[in-house]
Structure 1
Amino acid sequence: MNVRDFEYLIAVDELKSFSKASQECSVSQPALSQQIKKIEGQLGFNIFERDKKNIITTAKGKAVIKQAKSIINSYLKIKNINNNEVSIKIALIPTICPYLLPLIVDKLHQKLPNIKFYFLELKTDDLIKRLKAGEIDFGIIAYFQDLIDDKLNYLKLYDEEFLLTLPKQSKLTQDDFLKIMEEKKLILLEEGNCLSDNIKEICSIYNQNSFSNFYATNIETVKNMVRINNGAALLPKLSCLDNDNLKTLSFTPKKFREVGIINRKSFDQKDLVGAIRELIVDSLDSE
């Protein structure tokens, strides 16, 4: 097996389609299918189960794919050494990515022109899993103590304020804060989202347990529901920079979530983490 074979396997696993994988790898579908059958023959087991509608990666196949990704990552690092270029994959959680990334992406390319950056938006659990597997180099997450173990390093970036968000036409003011918390149904993100856990923790301080029966998958949907006066929301400040038709109120005292960078302790570009941290902090200070 060679690097090209591993690229074929990874493409089929991720795209769940031989035709899409062949396009991704710039090879004909028959050639790709034949090569994967050859690999399966060499290994003595099926990597994929096939029918007319679905491609399923077998249990043994998943182990092969995991090793293939590790080999490809190692190959790219060796190739980058030869090309004097570093390739870095950064993942951000969905409640941070759409709001932080536009503020920093151009500055990253300007400050670190010899680094080829790849950005992914991943939920926290998937981000941690892929970080430990070596599929990404580091992540930007909302801090929870349980996320950090002896294989990971965490470096704080900033504290992000939570804002109570209402329709722009609302007559309610800072003086009505307790009334809002008691009477308004708050819109949450779907279960398992760490932002919802943050919000529930804040609400418990105010004995607020009245939530909307609508659960969103992203912050922009929450904001749109608030705009049409279908509830209120607690949102991170960066997501409220574009607050068209929204009114925001601060808690007294203010409430925050902590955002930071997480990476493997074995990651060999620790100076890079520090440089990116400095750039992010400077970018937010200028906002």
Structure 2
Amino acid sequence: MGIVEFMTQWEQLAKRLERLFGDSTSSLSHHPVMKWLHGARDAYLSGERVQGCARAAFAQFAVEDLERILAHDENLFRHFKKALRRDRSATAYFGIRQEIRMAASLITKGIDFNKSEAPDFTLGELGLECTSAHLVKGAPTNRSLAYKLASAIAKKSQTAYSTRLNVLAIDMSNLLFHEGVGSTTNTLSWTEELQASLQEGVNRSPFQAVLCFAYAWVQAGPAGGATLSNYYSRVDRDEMDSLPKAFLDNHFPSGSIWVYAQLQKHV
């Protein structure tokens, strides 16, 4: 992808973000999605072209999810619009981004849901709660990853939920933005040891299952470009109710869909 093509697509994406939020690019300079766009442009112009395309893909993914939500429910879009403007920290953003991704996913799947608080989404007796897990900057280890995920599960376990049966969705995207690609890749490989460690935490929690999400990208062709996908791994409690099991089996099939080759490059 040449610089002219990249900047043309970059400007088109910036205009889509402007239309969504009703502000100019300059007014949106501190918006979390615009920050991804600025990072994409800076990386591309500094010679890191694939990295620039990957960051632009991350921003585009967010814009597409927001556009899908707006087309489906203006009130729900206004909720997320306000949340993105209010909470600009990285910690807050990844949690909100998981809610946006979950809402867009449910809409795409044609699933009826209500936006609520504790849990974030209700589907009759079933609730979906969203959160995020973070690691300090540096090369993470399997142990610290398990600890952070277990901490996220334990923290959300303290909340009182309005629904009887609940599933927790954890966004781990910031794991992909740390230094040390090699060690991060090994960390994100869904090992039996990590699975067993999380299984204990899920069984102790009030959740029927935990879905762990992360974004990863692969280079799209020799010209540069990048394709971004949202991957997940699912951990069910040993004695799982039939209602959430049927829902998850249909819409989030059991097991890990992360593939080592797909985690060779990170945004």
By percentage of residues, which structure has more strand? 1
Q: Normalized per residue, which structure has more helix?
A: 2
Q: Which structure is richer in relative contact order (CA contacts within 8 A, separation 6 or more)?
A: 1
Normalized against structure 1, the TM-score is what? 0.25
Q: TM-score normalized by structure 2?
A: 0.26
